[in-house]
Each structure stands twice: as structure tokens, then as C-alpha cells.
Amino acid sequence: MEGTATHNGYSTTLLGIRSRNASAPTVDTSLYSLSSEQAEFFKAQTGIDDDEDLKRHILEVQAKAYKVAPYPCIRSFVFLRLSLSNLPVYEHILELGRKRPDAVLLDIGCCLGTDGRKAAADGFPAKNIIASDLFNEFLQLSHELFKMTPASYPGCFLPGDVFDPAFLSIAAPTDDVSLAPAIDLSSLKSLNPLHGRISVISAISFFHLFSEEKQLLVARALAGLLSAQSGSVICGYHVGSLEKGIVKNTLVGSGYYGLFAHSPKTWSSLWDGEVFKKGSVKVETELVEIATRDVQFFMMKWSVMRL
């Protein structure tokens, strides 16, 4: 996740979204639940086979992460979801990892890095995966969650703020399809050396953290990183709406917060014609209706692929 958050009275959260709440809600362990797919994945990754032992381990890491930033996605265990692997474009992503020399996958706003770890487990070369978040503590807790170390997991962890030009400046999408020499990802201090060089950008539960104006800025920044090679893709999963605008959501026992959400139509036109030249990308979107104990809303699966 990227952004800053305060939790007293009216506050500006996640770089521009307004909220009203007395305080961040406390952790509710009753929200913990793993699907059979998640349980199988986390048991394989952690080496913890017992369900209660696994739950205890995850709750310990969650408590530490919630102290870093009390995001709803941490409180509600969304950070455990295998979101990237459930996107329609996922098999294409794995194929890029297998067939394109030195293909790089960037998991932006990765939180504890679950999606990148899943991609690595499914065959995308871990050494070519970059997990990036505003909070370096999240990246450290990723190793704790998966019971690994920098020595045992070769993926790259790169903390930084996408709105800091020193970390990620906005560059026009490249048209150069030639292969550039491989970069030692472990030496990176920012994303800027990767302009035009990234094959896959995953932005799960990321764009909806920002206002409409900042979503456009982030889209332009990420577009500048994407390789011009056909099949290079930016994809994600975030709050959507039938009509673009502010979607009100609730924090249990603590008021509400508002998220700006695009509709499939406005999201498609943003990428195809505003961020990229019209006709140079293929945009696919799918709205999924979600019902929780607190609220009903839409999430949008999407991908933007270079043609």
C-alpha cells in the first residue's frame, strides 16, 4: 500500500481521500478465514501444516503490520488473498516469465507481498520479481510471514513513494521494442532505471487508495515503466463502480471513508487514449459484485496490454 493515514476526527488518508472516524478499529480475529487455496499456499510456503498453528502465526504478523499502518486490508485479512492469480491474465503473466528473457514483474503497493510470492511459487523467476511498498516494515514483515529471509528468497524488495519523482518519475510510454541489457534488481534504489523495461506490473488494491487526479498520475508513472514489447501488461483489482465517483465504505464501529472509483468505461478510456496512444493497448475490465457483513460494493478486475 502507498500513502499516509491518520485516524483522529476528519483526516486525509491515502493521499487525498477524506474520512471521518474516531479512531482506527481494533483488530478483530473473527475476520480471519482462509480458503482451501489460501491454506494450501500458506502451508506450503511457511512449512506450518497445523491450521491453528498457521492461524496463530498469521495473527502475530497481522498485529505487527496493523501497528505500521492500520489499513482496512490488513484488519480484514485482504493481504492474504491470492488476487493476482485469480485474474484472467495470470496464465499470460506466467508465460512471460517462462519465455521472455529477463522479464520483470513489479508488484506495486504490495503490502506483505503475497501476490509476488504466489507468482514465484507458480514459476515466475523470483529473482525478477520486485515487491514495492511505501512502508519498508511491510517488506520486512513479508519475510516473517513466509518464514523466509533475503538469503532464502531472491526476490527484490524496494520501498518507496510512487509520488516522489526521485523514486518514480513520469516518463512517456516507450515505443522502443529492443531488448535492453538485464539490470541487477538488487542494486536498485528507485524504479526510475526501469523505464520501458518492465514486462508485468501488478497493482492489486492500489489505485482506489487515491483521488481521481492522483490515479491518473500513477497510471502515467506506471505506463512509463512498461516495456513496449507486445504482451507487456499492467493489471489489477480494485474498487470499481457502475458510474465513476466517490464510493462510500464503512469501517466497523468507526464511521466511513470514501474511495474514488472508476467505471469500466472511464477506466478503459483513461488507459486507451489518455495514458497510452489510442489503439496501442487492449484494455479488459470485469466488475465483480462483493457482499460483506458491512457493505455491498463492486470490485473491478482489469488489464492493460501492449499490442
pLDDT digits (tens, 9 = 90+) for 232-243: 999 999 999 999
pLDDT score of 249: 66
Which band of pLDDT confidence, cut at 50, 70 and 90, is reported for residue 266?
A: very high
pLDDT score of 127: 95
Cβ neighbours of residue 160 closer than 8 Å, sequence gap 6 or more: 132, 134, 167, 168, 190, 191
pLDDT at 204 over 90: yes
pLDDT at 294 over 70: no
- Contact between 256 and 206 under an 8 Å Cβ cutoff? The reply is no
Instruction: Dihedral sign for Cα 283, 284, 289, 292, please.
Output: negative
Name the pTM for this structure: 0.90
Which band of pLDDT confidence, cut at 50, 70 and 90, is reported for residue 252?
A: very low
d(CA 7, CA 24): 6
- Contact between 113 and 220 under an 8 Å Cβ cutoff? The reply is no
